[in-house]
Amino acid sequence: MTCTRYENDLALYVEHDLADTDAAAVEAHLRECVTCPPFLAELRASQAWVKDLASEEIDSEALAAMRVRTIVAAARARRSGPPGTVRAWALAASVILALGTAVWVAVVSRTDRTRAVAVSSSPSSSAPRALATPVIAPPVIASGSARSTLPGPAAVSLRMEHAHGRRGRVDRPSVVPALSPDDADQLARAVVAIARIQRVEETAADAEPSPEPTPLMRLATADPDVVIYWPLDPNGGE
């Protein structure tokens, strides 16, 4: 038996962990108690065993193995990247650069979309269908009615430039990036054929059936594969 309420104090007293006043109180109790002094002796014995662990040598090979592994791992880490704050700054710079690139790409693609929409919405309904079908119809073609806007050499020249630009020049943002090589070839042939229109005749071709048939001009070209149907404005472009 021991005085339970003194056990914790004795466990501190045994290693001089009590304040002086508390230690004095414990010593006074020890002088009067029968059971606590043997308890304190047992505590001293077990504490001697505990503290003996401090003198136990760690296996030297275990130490050496740990040391070698640690130094090698540190050297590897040093080679793979700068330590500490430098690496953190490098990471932060990479993130900022990536975000900046993403924002730039988003802005550029949005601008391209805006321009493509603006251009593709510009042709009027009276433009020749063969040329209006591709995304771009140059403004000179798209204006007015068939009576006043049959393509002349200037217009053809402008179109050729556009077709050529789409095929060969890639150093500026393309307005029609989706135009395939085949489509571009077809467009170029149409442009050349327009310059050599051989016959213009009114036709009743039902290319676009509607309740009130639109007058349609058929433009036969020197190229047998290129025939242009030109819807005429019933109101004469007014």
Partner 1 sequence: MPRISFRRPEASTRDLSLAPADLPDRPVAAEAAEWVRRARAGDPQAFAVLVERHERMVLRTAFRLLGHLDLAQDAAQDAFLRLHRHLGRFDETRELGPWLYRVVVNVCRDVARRGRGARLVALEDAAALPSPHEGAREREDAVTRDEQRRLVQAALLTLPAREREAIVLRDIEGLATDEVARILGSSAGTVRSQVSTARLKIKRYVEAQGGTRR
Provide the binding-site residues for partner 1, judged by CB under 8 A.
7-9, 11-12, 14-15, 17, 42-43, 45-47, 49-54, 56, 58-71, 73-75, 77-78, 83-86
CB of 23 to partner 1, least distance (A): 13
DSSP string, 54-104: GGPPPPHHHHHHHHHHHHHHHHHHHHHS--HHHHHHHHHHHHHHHHHHHHH
How far is the C-alpha of 217 from the C-alpha of 146, rounded, in Å?
9
78/113 with CB nearer partner 1: 78
Closer of 74 and 98 to partner 1 (Cβ): 74
Joined together, the tokens standing for residue 122 give: 């510009």
User: Shortest approach of partner 1 to residue 83 CB, angstroms?
Assistant: 6
Closest approach of Cβ 182 to partner 1, in Å?
Answer: 58
For 112, the token pair is: 């391209």
CB of 13 to partner 1, least distance (A): 9
Helix (H, G, I), strand (E, B) or coil at 221: strand
Please choose, from the candidates 228, 225, 237, the residue with its C-alpha nearest in 3D space to the C-alpha of residue 156. 228
Nearest CB to partner 1, comparing residues 86 and 107: 86
Of 45 and 154, which CB lies nearer to partner 1 in the complex structure? 45
